[in-house]
Amino acid sequence: MAAGEGIALVELDDDGVDKAFRADVLAGLAQPQKAVPARWLYDDAGSELFEAITRLPEYYPTRAETEILTAQGEAFRELIGPGRAVVEFGSGSSVKTPLLLGAIEPAAYVPLDISGDFLRAAAADLAAKFPGLPVYPVEADFMRCVELPEAVEDLPKLGFFPGSTIGNMVARTAVDLLRSMRETLGQGSKLLIGMDLIKDRAVLEAAYDDAQGVTAEFNLNLARRINRELGGTIPIHQLRHVARWSDTFARVEMHLEAREDIVFAVSGRRYSMAKGETIHSENSHKFDRRSQDTLLLAGGWTPVSRWLDTQERFSLILADWTVPRGAP
């Protein structure tokens, strides 16, 4: 079945700008440590750049996760079972998503994403690969509870959140998202989630600062988006991409660092950055088993199965809907 027209749930200002994007950018740039939430990296251009990142030699997570999905199809089929609506929190990987859908015989596929054009293209691609599968793309901010299409309302759900995207969030935000997923999917649902593992610092930093500069372009695209959509005057050529590992927070941090003192405007507001000052654009938290379990349980999900790639770099976890247990 071809992908449907989809549902759009993004709230826009009168000038056509996502209200949440404007609010997050203006609030973030006003902080002592300037920061913009990582989800705003993924406009159409950012989503395409990230797809390119996943093919880079330094970026191991996609290869590791794909290895797990390829090797564990029978286990997924047994533990998840057929007939579920797969709700993917994101537009869908051209490689990973088909591996899961092909293994478990789902009744429907519902990708959720704020990047509308990329979402529709990915949904159409999946629909072409699985002509008998109903596909219902929903353009929405999945950080909040999302109302799913009526066509899947009565189906059991499997949430799919690959790529260790959960690691882009601080613990409180990650817990809030997991609880929103729990509300979106409903009682009796399952969640298959990717989480990257703690490993050698050099490997981690290279994965987020590749030799070809694709990740740098991905990061700088955030500033370009701010300029384009919010009337910004950020001097892109005066920013550089920085990726560094933090032992304290067990994460790789991405920043846009000012090469010189700069002054710019966004939506009519004036900002300045001293040389060396940064805009914190993304975190990529890494996990061990204990931190995985703590986070999932706080979010209302009980881990039931866990798989690693052969080099033990990455994990996929299957969890059941449950009552949240405290906070991490």
Domain spans of the chain, in order of start: 16-42+215-285, 54-197+287-321
Q: What mean pLDDT is predicted for residues 3-16?
A: 52
**Low-confidence winner among 104-113, 116-125, 262-271 (lowest mean pLDDT):** 116-125
The pTM (predicted TM-score) of the whole model is 0.87
CA dihedral 309, 315, 316, 317 (to 10 degrees): 130
The architecture (CATH level 2) of 54-197+287-321 comes to 3-Layer(aba) Sandwich (3.40)
pLDDT per residue as tens digits for the range 179-230:
999 999 999 999 999 999 999 999 999 999 999 999 999 999 999 999 999 9
pLDDT per residue as tens digits for the range 140-192:
888 889 999 999 999 999 999 999 999 999 999 999 999 999 999 999 999 99
Nearest to 73 by CA among 102, 109, 94, 93: 102
